[in-house]
Amino acid sequence: MGARITKLTVPHNYTNLIFIVVALAIVVSCGIIILVFWKSKKGMFNERLRKEDTFDFKEFLNQNFDENIQEPDTIDLDEDEFSVEKEEDLKQDESLDKQPKNVYEKSYKDIEEEKSGFSISDYLRDKGLITDYKIASEEEKQSIMLELMRLRDEKKITNDEYLEEAYKLWKE
């Protein structure tokens, strides 16, 4: 009885239809533009324009390379200008060029590490924190880490000392 009273109808959603029509219109218009250019031989459909900027590999391979080789220009030197002393100087200069050049004057080993002189373990003991990191719990390690970060930010310890102590703290 309920089927006779109520008629179930699907509401028409025209937005999908509109999108389909717009997409088809764009595709058709692009097709028409391509067809016009193809018929009129303009743009990329022009044979002369396509061959203008392309590299012809077959022509390159068929080319005679012997004709293109030119004799290098020769320079005539006077024997007076080129003496035995100059030859010896050139030999010494060539031997210098063969030796490797030391570009970097200092290596990382030469750089001294900066130390602040601040005793981190004494400071942590004064704060009531554990300095034996192996027995410290996760929460204690977090609080020690916060203290280390604060010391670094206040420039009481150097960044190297901070990194070294953090490594010791979290090393398993």
Q: Does some domain include residue 133?
A: yes
Q: How far is CA 85 from the centre of its chain?
A: 51
User: What are 32-57's pLDDT values in tens digits?
Assistant: 999 998 888 887 778 887 777 777 77
- Rounded to an integer, what is the distance from CA 91 to the centroid of its chain? 43
Query: What would the two tokens of residue 130 be?
Result: 């554990």
pLDDT in tens, 3-24: 667 776 777 788 888 999 999 9
Residue 165 lies in a domain: yes
The domain boundary, picked from 48, 64, 80, lies at 64
* 108 assigned to some structural domain: no
> 86 in a domain, yes or no?
no
In a domain, 9, yes or no: no
Q: State the total domains in the chain.
A: 2
Q: Which residues contact 148 (CB under 8 A, 6 or more apart)?
A: 120, 157, 162, 165, 166, 169
Does a structural domain hold residue 21? yes
Q: 28-59 in b/e burial notation, b at 16+ Cβ within 10 A? A: eeeeeeeeeeeeeeeeeeeeeeeeeeeeeeee
124: in domain: yes
Q: What is the pLDDT of residue 33?
A: 93
**pLDDT tens digits, 85-143:** 555 555 555 555 555 556 555 555 555 667 777 888 888 889 888 888 888 888 988 99
Question: Is residue 25 a part of any domain in this protein?
Answer: yes
Statement: the pTM of the whole predicted model exceeds 0.75 = no
Which one of 43, 64, 85 terminates a domain? 64
Residue 144's domain comprises 120-170
